Amino acid sequence: MTTTTTSIGGGGEDRVLATAQQIVKSLNTPKEVREDMLLIFSSFDNRLSNITDLINGEDSKADEDRFGEAEKVIFRWESKSEAHRNSVPWEESPVEAGEYLAAVDEILTLMEGLSVRSDNELVDRAENALQIAMTRLEDEFRHILIRNTVPFDSDRLYGSIRRVSLSFVSNDGEIDDEFGSFGEEDRDAGRFHERGGSLGDTDVDLIHPDAVVELKEIAERMIRSGYEKECVQVYNSVRRDALDECLVILGVEKLSIEEVQKIEWKSLDEKMKKWIQAVKIGVRVLINGERRLCDQIFEGIDETRECCFNDTAKGCVMQLLNFGEAVAIGRRSPEKLFRILDMYDAMADVLPDLQQMMSDEYVVGEARGVLDMLGDAARGTFAEFENAVQSEASKKPMLSGEIHPLTRYVMNYVKLLVDYSVTLNSLLDTGEEELERLQGSPNDDLGIGSMSPIGHRLLLLISNLESNLDEKSRVYDDGAMHCVFLMNNIQYIVQKVKDSEIRKLLGDQWVRKRRGQVRQYATGYLRAAWSKVLSCLKDEGIGGSTSNASKMALKERFKNFNANFEEIYRTQTAWKVPDAQLREELRISISEKVIPAYRSFMGRFGSQLESGRHAGKYIKYTPDDLETYVLDLFEGTPCVLNHLRRKST
């Protein structure tokens, strides 16, 4: 055996090594597998013990050649001037970009192999080249993000906005400042309470889609190279700035809680309105878009993707939440309630989406907390309004007996509250004390038990308003004016209920009872205003029969009738009954009582005076005259009768 082995030495050993080397190379296996195969070969024959060094030497030469080519690509870009690099964006030179990324891949692959053999010189060169490449990729990642950010167009995101009248009037009734001034649509058609607002397509690209592919390719290389932190920092920095800019476009400013609470109501109302839309767009468009962008760029790298998204979105979300919190803990006043309810609805609407998208429990917990705070603010503001209605104590009478500003304010306010019935039913409850008050009042036959929470509270609110109006009516010494004031205000309340969704909450029985009250006040007015006039047309006290009644008594009767009628005309033309139908019914009732009585009285006794001197001094009006003059009543414009005396016959 020894002789045979020796005789094969020299050229024979070279042939054996060459043959083994060719066999291993032809298998085209990875380096690690080839090395294992060579170890196995060498265990069969000690002449193959040097083949590993031989092949590794050749591999090292090939690796160095490949690395050299990749290194040239990296340094060739670095040798160009910064101006040139900036003038030819990465995304506009796909061939060069592809060559550069391939060079990075080559270096990364070689480094993974080099780490096994610890070729220090080549490792150092590779690490240096990779560091240079990562610096460039980091810059390109930033520039691509910035250059390809899609301009934010908020206008096209807004759908139709439902406009609900919330107009304002002058504060004529010396109503408490707590109520502001709040009234009829026709007083100032320029002011509206804007609610809702539907978004269009919420799948909006925040970055141009073509650039997303390039960003993903760069992110993969940076993370594979151990530059994950730098990649995430660049992404967060650029995208946070972009989201901040979007909030500015949406009208959301960075304000502290103290700053928010110092803003006057008119400005705060505008900021709240913008916030409501910004929350919807912020979550449904911006945060949703950011979620999709992170999913695309960092696909397959779950931990990095979540961390990057949460860090980017957090600032935008927290800025929105801070404003919501500032409003929620601010001073409570009735005019804020509708905006607070809108904010609550907007927050409740987007919270499920936010919870689904964000894994940051702190941010999600803050969002839940702000929603709860807005709910508390709405409850507290509603209670403040109830107390204000009950305690409003202005005593200045309405000179024309018309609708009190408090009535207008409360009923327009209530009419808008009904639009929020679903939300208020979830926020409000009716305590035992309130239920006892309702059940012990004239409302206890209205089916209180079957009413919703908002129905209970509105019924109690309107009852408090009616009690307050009854108290205010006591300032009128004139019984007729007292009745007209209450008649006008109750009629206004009934009309507001009847012509709106409030009717469904309070029921038809409530409407019927209040209409009965209006009729009672109308009857009370007729009695208080016209009894004295009608007493002048009675037969008692005239003396004698129709044919021989005392002329002196008749003259006195006609004279008193004229004076009383003229006084009523002078005062009650200045009174106002705004409801056209009620005004007409009241005039008809007056005519039905007064005109027939006057015509009958004239028919029985008029002839006894008409034949005498100065008859026109006493019989100044015909029945038709009176009927015409009655039509001037309740228009709110004071008039005086300057009737020419009829000529004596």
Q: How confident is the model over 326-363, as pLDDT tens digits?
A: 999 999 999 999 999 999 999 999 999 999 999 999 99
Q: 233 and 342, same structural domain?
A: yes
pLDDT at residue 432 tops 90 = no
pLDDT at residue 444 tops 60 = no
In 460-609, at which residue ranges do the beta strands (DSSP E only) sit?
none
- Between CA 66 and CA 60 the distance in angstroms is 10
User: Domain for residue 645, yes or no?
Assistant: no
- Between CA 629 and CA 632 the distance in angstroms is 5
Q: How confident is the model at residue 185 (pLDDT cuts 50, 70, 90)?
A: very low
pLDDT at residue 85 tops 80 = no
Which domain-ending residue is among 148, 168, 183?
148
Q: How confident is the model at residue 119 (pLDDT cuts 50, 70, 90)?
A: low
Residue 199 carries which DSSP code? B
pLDDT at residue 389 tops 90 = yes
User: Domain for residue 451, yes or no?
Assistant: yes
Q: In terms of C-beta density within 10 A (0-12 exposed, 13-18 middle, 19 or more buried), how is residue 408 classed? A: buried
- Between CA 101 and CA 414 the distance in angstroms is 66
In 338-476, at which residue ranges do the beta strands (DSSP E only) sit?
none
Q: 285 and 238, same structural domain?
A: yes
- With residue 210 as reference, give the H or E element that holds it: helix 209-224
- Between CA 199 and CA 285 the distance in angstroms is 9
pLDDT digits (tens, 9 = 90+) for 234-252: 999 999 999 999 999 999 9
Which domain-ending residue is among 478, 494, 528?
528
Closest Cα partner for 328 from 339, 316, 318?
339
Question: Could you give the number of structural domains in the chain?
Answer: 4
- Between CA 250 and CA 244 the distance in angstroms is 10
- Residue 627, Cβ neighbours under 10 Å: how many? 17
Backbone angles phi, psi at 185, to 5 degrees: -60, -40
Residue 322's contacts (CB-CB under 8 Å, 6 or more residues apart) are 255, 256, 257
At residue 376, the 3 state secondary structure works out as: helix
- Between CA 232 and CA 240 the distance in angstroms is 12
Closest Cα partner for 392 from 407, 377, 413, 379?
407
190 touches 165 (CB < 8 A): no
Q: 329 and 245, same structural domain?
A: yes
pLDDT at residue 485 tops 60 = yes
How far, in Å, are 77, 224, 407 from residue 404 at the CA level? 81, 75, 5
Chain CA centroid to CA 574, Å: 44
* Of 374-383, 507-516, 547-556, the least confident: 547-556
Q: 439 and 310, same structural domain?
A: no
* Average pLDDT of the residues in 401-423: 94
Percent of the chain with pLDDT over 70: 74
Residue 17's pLDDT is what?
A: 54
Residue 152's pLDDT is what?
A: 86
How far, in Å, are 99, 426, 572 from residue 421 at the CA level? 64, 9, 41
Residue 112's pLDDT is what?
A: 77
Q: How confident is the model at residue 187 (pLDDT cuts 50, 70, 90)?
A: very low
Q: 596 and 508, same structural domain?
A: no
- Between CA 389 and CA 590 the distance in angstroms is 35
pLDDT digits (tens, 9 = 90+) for 134-160: 999 999 999 999 999 998 887 776 543
pLDDT at residue 132 tops 80 = yes
**pTM, two decimal places:** 0.78
- With residue 326 as reference, give the H or E element that holds it: helix 302-328
Of residues 37 and 57, the one with the higher pLDDT is 37
Which domain-ending residue is among 103, 129, 148?
148
Question: Per DSSP, what are the bridge partners of residue 287?
Answer: none
User: Domain for residue 13, yes or no?
Assistant: no
- Between CA 366 and CA 363 the distance in angstroms is 5
* Average pLDDT of the residues in 565-582: 95
Residue 143's pLDDT is what?
A: 93
Residue 182's pLDDT is what?
A: 47
Residue 597's pLDDT is what?
A: 95
Residue 78's pLDDT is what?
A: 72
Residue 498's pLDDT is what?
A: 93
* Average pLDDT of the residues in 254-281: 94
**Relative orientation angle of helices 432-439 and 453-472, to the nearest 10 degrees:** 60
* Average pLDDT of the residues in 60-78: 74
Q: 518 and 484, same structural domain?
A: yes
Q: In terms of C-beta density within 10 A (0-12 exposed, 13-18 middle, 19 or more buried), how is residue 323 classed? A: buried
Averaged confidence pLDDT in the chain: 82
Q: How confident is the model at residue 325 (pLDDT cuts 50, 70, 90)?
A: very high
- Between CA 207 and CA 218 the distance in angstroms is 15
Residue 439's pLDDT is what?
A: 52
- Between CA 592 and CA 630 the distance in angstroms is 11
Closest Cα partner for 491 from 507, 471, 469?
469
Q: How confident is the model at residue 183 (pLDDT cuts 50, 70, 90)?
A: very low
User: Domain for residue 637, yes or no?
Assistant: no
Q: 375 and 252, same structural domain?
A: yes
Q: In terms of C-beta density within 10 A (0-12 exposed, 13-18 middle, 19 or more buried), how is residue 92 classed? A: exposed
598 touches 536 (CB < 8 A): no
Residue 312's pLDDT is what?
A: 95
- Between CA 403 and CA 575 the distance in angstroms is 11
Question: Per DSSP, what are the bridge partners of residue 163?
Answer: 194
Percent of the chain with pLDDT over 90: 57
Of residues 537 and 189, the one with the higher pLDDT is 537
- Between CA 458 and CA 425 the distance in angstroms is 11
Of residues 24 and 389, the one with the higher pLDDT is 389
Q: How confident is the model at residue 447 (pLDDT cuts 50, 70, 90)?
A: low
At residue 401, the 3 state secondary structure works out as: coil
**Relative orientation angle of helices 361-391 and 302-328, to the nearest 10 degrees:** 20
Q: 252 and 322, same structural domain?
A: yes
pLDDT at residue 646 tops 50 = no
Of residues 41 and 215, the one with the higher pLDDT is 215
Of residues 35 and 565, the one with the higher pLDDT is 565
- With residue 164 as reference, give the H or E element that holds it: strand 162-165
User: Domain for residue 168, yes or no?
Assistant: no
- Residue 578, Cβ neighbours under 10 Å: how many? 16
**Residue 430: CA atoms inside 13 Å, Cβ hemisphere, count?**
21
- With residue 192 as reference, give the H or E element that holds it: strand 192-195
Q: Do you know the residue count of the chain?
A: 649
Q: 366 and 509, same structural domain?
A: no
Q: 122 and 232, same structural domain?
A: no
Residue 200's pLDDT is what?
A: 53
pLDDT at residue 55 tops 70 = no
User: Domain for residue 212, yes or no?
Assistant: no
> Which amino acid, one-letter code, is at 603?
G
pLDDT at residue 510 tops 80 = yes
Q: 517 and 404, same structural domain?
A: yes
The residue range of the domain holding 417 is 392-528
**Domain at 317, CATH number:** 1.20.1280.170
User: Domain for residue 268, yes or no?
Assistant: yes
- Between CA 10 and CA 586 the distance in angstroms is 136
Q: 267 and 277, same structural domain?
A: yes
- Longest C-alpha distance within the chain, in Å? 180
User: Domain for residue 644, yes or no?
Assistant: no
Hey, what are 610's tokens? 């008409």
pLDDT at residue 173 tops 80 = no
Residue 286 carries which DSSP code? I
